[in-house]
Amino acid sequence: DDGDALLQQLRERIGRIRVGPFTDGPEPFCGPVISSRAADEIIAAQSRLAEGGAHLLVEAKRMKSGSGLISPGLVDVSPMSHPPADEEFFGPLLQVIRVATFKAALTTANATRYGLAAGLISDDAALYSEFRDTVRAGIINWNQSLTGASGAAPFGGIGRSGNHRPSGLFAADYCAYPVASIEVPELKPPSPLPPGLE
């Protein structure tokens, strides 16, 4: 099945991601999360998902005690008896939810308070058009990475994600307001006077 093949490739690729301090050579793909506490929170979130019935396909692990270095994790939350809590994890912990149809995928993708980024991997332009018009996110990509955004994009995210603020060329409009002005270089009474004025 295509879903199984995709998950197998994800498992293999995740195992090749280099994590480490920026001074490492060769250069790592990603560094630590913001703090040791943040790393603890990612590991705790992974444990909660597993206790709820999720399958750990690649377990995220502490790489160095007292630091924010953790290896990436991949969790299939589909087997859970109840949907996972609607929360964002600020770290390398990818949740997979398997569904039977594209419509179910859209419904699942939109069943969140968040909406920073969404993407579709498909060769079908019509499918992408439906995805783009239906998915609730501030950045929507087709066959591209979901992370990172050009500073020239009107980027913000919706819901409880991102900053929901315009950027790039749109930032000037967000920081300004329109002003209308009527200007005459010399003061003169209107002629003729409006009705009711003498």
Q: What is the average pLDDT value for the chain, to the nearest integer?
A: 86
Q: How confident is the model at residue 138 (pLDDT cuts 50, 70, 90)?
A: confident
Q: What's the confidence (pLDDT) of residue 183?
A: 66
Pairing of β 55-58 and β 73-76 = antiparallel
Low-confidence winner among 19-28, 55-64, 163-172 (lowest mean pLDDT): 163-172
CB 102 within 8 A of CB 127: yes
Share above pLDDT 70 across residues of the chain, in percent, rounded to a whole number: 85
SS3 at position 46: helix
CB 73 within 8 A of CB 46: yes
Write the pLDDT tens digit of every residue in 24-39: 999 999 999 999 999 9
**Is the pLDDT at 167 greater than 70, yes or no?**
no
Phi–psi pair at 21, nearest 5 degrees: -65, 155
Rounded-to-integer distance, Cα 50 and Cα 87, Å: 15
Rounded-to-integer distance, Cα 136 and Cα 64, Å: 37
For range 54-67, the mean pLDDT: 94
Tell how many helices (H) and how many strands (E) occur in the chain.
5, 5
Residues 6+ apart with CB under 8 A from 146: 117, 118, 119, 139
**Is the pLDDT at 184 greater than 80, yes or no?**
no
pTM of the complete model? 0.76
